[in-house]
Amino acid sequence: MAAPNSGVVGSFRHLDSLILAIEQLKKAGYRELQALSPVPHHAIDEALEKPPSPVRVFTLIGCLLGAIAGFTLTIGASLHYPLIVGGKPIVSIPPFLVIVFELTILFGGLLTLGGMLLNARLPRVHVGPAYNPRFSEDRFGLWIGCEEKQYDEVERLLENAGAEDIVRDVS
Amino acid sequence: MPPLNYSQVDKDILRAMQAPGWRYYAILSADLVVLAWGIYAWRYTVQRGLGVWGITHPVMWAMDITNFVFWVGIAHSGTLISAILYLFRVRWRAGIYRTAEAVTVFALFTAALFPVIHLGRPWFFYWLFPYPQVGGLWINFRSPLVWDVFAVSTYMIISVLFFFTGLVPDMAVVRNQTSGWRHKVYAFMAQGWQGTDRQWRHYKAAYLFLAALATPLVISVHSVVSWDFAQTIVPGWHSTIFAPYFVAGAIHSGLAMVIMLLIPVRRVFRLDAYLTQEHLENLAKLIILTGLIVGYAYVVETYIAWYSNNIPEWQHFTFQITGEYAIPFWIMILFNSLVPLLFFLKPIRTSTPWLFGIAVLINIGMWMERFVIIVTSLAHEYDPYSWGLFIPTWVDISITVGSFAWFFLWFLLFAKLLPVVSIVEVKEELPPPMMGQKVER
Amino acid sequence: MQEDLEKNWTVHPVISPRLIRIFGALTGLGIATFLVSLQLDPMRSWQAYLVNFLFWTGIAQGAVVFAAIYHVVGAKWGATVRRLGEGAVVYLPMSLVSFLPLYFGLKMFFSGVREVNPDRGAWFDPRFIFVRGGLGLGLMTVLSLFFVYYSLRPEIGIARERKLKLRIWLHRWMADGWQGEQTEILRCERGMDFLAAGVLLAYPMIYTFMAFDLIMALDPFWYSSLFGGYFFISTFYLGLAGLAVVAALLRRNLGNLVITNSQLSDLGKLLLGFNLTYLSMVWGQYIVIWYGNLPEETHFIILRVWEKPWAFFSWSVFVLSVLVPFLFFLSRRAKEIAWVMLLTGISISAGLWLERYVLIVPSLWSQAGAPFGWIEVGITLGFLGAAGLSYVYFLKNFPLVPYTRVSISAASQEQKDAEETA
């Protein structure tokens, strides 16, 4: 099923109007909803019922990779050119654990950031036309993906919920 | 004071980023002059060798490493405020976290200079990193100095990432209100941010995990730095308490630096509604805690020096309290553990001049502490034949002052080019605009 | 608010008389075991006694310290959990009493020290150790008792005002001199502020020296400056684990509304944090001693970590107190399940009991093998019985859900209004 590429965007002054609009549009059967807001709010997430973010998986993988990298680097390098330093064993695990720990955190952090960018589809070269700069200041926005013939119904629902500035045909 | 709503927040914070007046340029110029002098002092060192510093046998580390540890320490409180307080869901961190995080990043930029500055042949600094070398030689992973490389590099990378990730939504606000080349730069930094629910969801998840990773990281970094000393068997250095002692001291000095910078920022940019009395008071309370921990460490170290029956340890301790470096030692005790106790008194911790004054004293005290730890131990090791002193030269002092100028330069640029208070976090702490409609379920 | 108090006053877990009888029997068993074993093998009895003394005092004090921290930082996520922590204070006077016979044990432990270490001999004199230990413990007990007193007093006083049934003479004594709800709530809040600060200032110092004197000094040549800090962090971690066990058990008893999912989850997060903090305290000592490689320091670690039979104990400590809880707590939802919290709490507690065992016993035990048999089990059960009795006493007689927090802001607002109109 092809996701509609175009839709309608409504702008709301109040958070509860936005939530009301989301509920009503969901009741009316519209599934392609995207909210835009200057701040995150748990009420928006609860109303939209989208699945939790998979970024945690990236973090876990990053940490594991980092640990493996740490052990490989330290043990490998020590065995490659074995030098007894300070009377410590060639493969001395306690100090190597410090390196492992640091690389675990480093890789974990880098992959977390990567996971966020990937999932959030950032960076974007162009900010989409659905975006109204006021959505980063003090207005909330709701984009509904729908066909042209549904525009009127959507607009009506949005206005009932209290939207101002409704724009059609944006993706 | 108009009631705080979202657009008011935007206006107030962005107002601070308007074109600066002559005073800003005057301070910036003075700072650049001092920095230039510091750079000149380092050039002098590179041309003539480390002998132009005061270091000599037996004190082979002195102000170079003091500055390194000092600046790494300053960086810690920023991560405490942005990451650890975030995990504990402490609400008042929202207003100050941006400035604190900036202090972290710039302190790390400053600290990272010193491992290079203190090298005899600084052009070989890349030997510190593990790379496959033609002779097959690798760095010594068992050494705490190499742990430093990994820990401080990781900390710098993660802090910069954390800082810029937190900036992205704010950059969207700034992008929308600027034009021309400035618009392009902020648009790049905003990475196309739109504030969709999808972006926010992943952003919040990433932020939480970065905070969760940064917390053990920050504790490990200053522990690793402390192990530069504790892993030796030098009297006064070989002590298991060094790791938590240094971490507490780091947060102590970092909080003091944050207070020192918040007070003028608040004044100059008229951000009293955002950087409130309550913020400063809470920071002061945290300083009481870290000051007590540092005081605890002083007491325990003294006890163990006596208890251990270890003659070199005990003579090192008596050298500290009565020897040539007694003045820095007593400054350290007084400024770090006793002066902060004044914050128990409410009138003192709610008075801006007192806050600023005590913060300055704490920073001086913490710099002295690093100096005392490093220099007194090296000056007075096991063998009386090899005891000696460190006397700073003009080059040492110039480089130290230059490092402050470097740090301050970054901070001055930050104050004008980026929002000093996190717009999004402040908005999050406000109640969202509601019309009071009932939402049907 | 009237209903809240009355409802909370009657919220009590069902504690069967059989449980109390079991705890009583265990206490008796412990005392009997101890007295018998004292004739057979005094060193072994006193070792087991010392390990248990430190463990049970620690678990109670750690829980009270949690309550004090909760109050000082103005937390709001779990007042009931805080009250559960306060309940542990009833054991502290019993612990102080149990410290008294330890004098004879100390005489045994330190008997040869003066010859071995003449320079510091006077410091190791068992009489001196006993007196300074007793004073420290006494101070902690007094501060903790008064802290909890101020926490409970408002509720008891209001209950008395509202003519609710006061169960025991202690209630009447605690509500003595009641000056009315408004004044008392604020007065007790200020009392709590003061005493929580007192508890938190005294705890690190006193427990540091308890560790230095009662554990570290048993090996007169070994020292570690972080040992005191390590011990009071580990004791706090132990207190949290005890709280997790109690909270999980009471949840089954009282239901999800008294001890909620989010409270359990937050307690779990705290446990995760202190798990890692505890680990860092162990590691901080290990890596410095490993690297310095000085025999006067390493012998202590090598004996416990690499030599049999003690190595078995040390690695069990690591698995039970660090590894198992860490793996469980990585899951977000695990922390909300009562039996997971119960198991991890027990695992951590068992691990930390073994930790105290492996810190103390190898310094004292000169025979082959590790002493672990009916003597150790019997004495441990005895202390368990005593701790259980004291905690059950608290649960039966004091309200579990503090309500005064809610009324503090209301009371102070009313007082402010009254002052303004006056």
Could you report the per-residue pLDDT of B323-337, keeping only the tens digit for each? 999 999 999 999 999
In eight-state DSSP terms, residue B3 is: P
Question: How confident is the model at residue B234, as a pLDDT?
Answer: 93
Kindly report, residue by residue over B169-210, the tens digit of the pLDDT. 999 899 888 888 888 888 888 888 888 888 899 999 999 999
> Looking at the structure, do residues A80 and A112 belong to the same domain, yes or no?
yes
Smallest Cβ distance to A92: which of B142, B172, B197?
B142
**Angle formed by the axes of helices C295-305 and C310-317, to 10°?**
80
Distance of CA B29 to the CA centre of its chain: 24
Considering only alpha carbons, which residue of chain B is nearest residue A40? B200
C-beta atoms of C287 and A87 within 8 A: no
Most confident of B56-60, B207-211, C74-78, C233-237: C233-237
Which pLDDT value is given to residue B440? 41
In a domain, A86, yes or no: yes
Residues A144 and A113 in one domain: no
Say yes or no for a CB contact (<8 Å) between B6 and A48: no
Q: Across residues B3-27, what is the average pLDDT?
A: 87
Is A92 in contact with B198 (Cβ distance < 8 A)? Answer: no
pLDDT at B121 over 50: yes
Query: Does residue A38 form part of some domain?
Result: yes
pLDDT at position C120 is 75
Give the pLDDT score at C253. 78
Q: Are residues A132 and A114 in the same domain?
A: no
The answer to whether the Cβ–Cβ distance between B209 and A102 falls below 8 Å is: no
Return the partners of chain B (3 or more C-beta pairs < 8 Å): A, C
Residues A97 and A140 in one domain: no
* Number of domains forming the structure of chain A: 2
Looking at residue B89, the DSSP 8-state letter turns out to be: T
Handedness of CA C84, C86, C87, C88 (dihedral sign): positive
Q: What is the pLDDT of residues C309-341, one digit of tens each?
A: 999 999 999 999 999 999 998 887 887 888 899
Residues 6+ apart with CB under 8 A from C58: C207, C234, C235, C238, C239, C352, C356
The average confidence (pLDDT) of chain B is 92
Beta-sheet pairing, A164-170 with A7-12: antiparallel
Reported as a single tens digit per residue, the pLDDT across A93-121 is 999 999 999 999 999 999 999 999 988 88
d(C-alpha C124, C-alpha C121), whole Å: 5
Give the residue from chain B lying closest to C288, CA to CA: B231
Closest chain A CA to residue C280: A98
Of C82, C57, C94, C73, which is closest to residue C399 (Cα–Cα)? C82
State whether A44 and B176 contact (CB < 8 Å).
Answer: no
Higher pLDDT, B262 or C335: B262
**Percent of chain C scoring above 70 in pLDDT:** 92
The domain of A144 spans: 7-51+127-170
Mapped onto helix, strand or coil, the DSSP state of residue A164 is: strand
Single out the residue of B152, B145, B148 nearest to residue B79, CA to CA: B152
- Kindly list the distances between the CA atom of residue B284 and the CA atoms of B92, B98, B298, C265, C320, in Å, as whole numbers in the listed order: 13, 18, 21, 30, 39
Contacts of C287 in chain A (CB under 8 A): 94-95, 98
Token output for B83: 């990451």
Co-location of A92 and A140 in the same domain: no
pLDDT class of B52 with cuts at 50, 70, 90: very high
Does position C211 have pLDDT exceeding 60, yes or no?
Answer: yes
pTM: 0.92
Looking up residue A45, the CATH number of its domain turns out to be 3.30.70
Please check whether residue B243 touches C, CB under 8 A.
Answer: yes
Query: In angstroms, rounded to a whole number, what is the distance separating the alpha carbons of residues B234 and B135?
Result: 33
Flag the least confident range among C1-15, C71-85, C239-253: C1-15
* C173 SS3 class: helix
The pLDDT value recorded for residue C355 is 96
Q: Is C223 within 8 Å of B219 when comparing Cβ atoms?
A: no
Q: Which chains does chain C touch, 3 or more C-beta pairs < 8 A? A: A, B
Inter-chain residue contact A94 with C293, CB threshold 8 Å:
no
Closest by CA position to A163, among listed A128, A133, A139: A139
What's the whole-number mean pLDDT along residues B134-153? 92
- Do C145 and C88 form a contact (C-beta atoms < 8 A)? no
List subunits contacting chain A, requiring 3 or more Cβ pairs under 8 Å: B, C
Chain A residues inside the 8 Å CB shell of B199: 120-122
| Token code pair at residue C419 | 């002052």
| Residue C220: DSSP 8-state | T
DSSP string, B149-202: HHHHHHHHHHHHHHHHHHHHHHHHHHHHT--HHHHHHHHHHHTT---BHHHHHH
Q: What is the pLDDT of residue C10?
A: 66
Same domain (yes/no): A106, A63: yes
CB-CB neighbors (< 8 A) of C290 in chain A? 94
CB contact under 8 A, B240 and C280: no
Same domain for A82 and A47: no
The tokens 């949005």 sit on which residue? A158
CB contact under 8 A, A105 and B432: no
Q: Does the ipTM exceed 0.90?
A: yes
Average predicted confidence (pLDDT) for chain A: 86
Cβ of A95 within 8 Å of Cβ of C287? The answer is yes
| Co-location of A66 and A97 in the same domain | yes
Whether B206 sits inside 8 A of A15 (CB atoms) is no
Residue A1 domain-assigned?
Answer: no
| Residues 215-254 in C contacting B (C-alpha not used; CB under 8 Å) | 223-229
Say whether B240 and C289 touch across the interface (CB within 8 A). Answer: yes
Where would I find the beta strands (DSSP E) of B244-386? none
Q: Is residue A2 part of a domain?
A: no
Q: How many pairs of residues across A and C have Cβ atoms under 8 Å apart?
A: 10
Chain C residues lying within 8 Å of B296, measured CB to CB? 204-205, 208, 229
Task: Report pLDDT for C91.
Answer: 96
The angle subtended at Cα C39 by Cα C37 and Cα C45, nearest 5°, is 40
In chain A, whose CA is at the least distance from the CA of C290? A94
pLDDT in tens, C9-39: 666 777 888 999 999 999 999 999 999 999 9
Which residue has better confidence, C165 or C179?
C179
What the block records as the tokens of C264 is: 């359990």
User: 3-class DSSP state for residue B325?
Assistant: coil
In this prediction, residue C412 has a pLDDT band, given cuts at 50, 70 and 90, of low
Looking at domain B7-429, does it have CATH number 3.40.47.10?
A: no
Count A/B contacts: CB-CB distance under 8 Å: 213
Task: Look at residue B113 in the predicted model and tell me its pLDDT.
Answer: 94
Q: Is C118 on the interface with B (CB under 8 A)?
A: no
pLDDT in tens, B370-423: 999 999 999 999 999 999 999 999 999 999 999 999 999 999 999 999 999 999
CA C347, C351, C354, C360 dihedral sign is negative
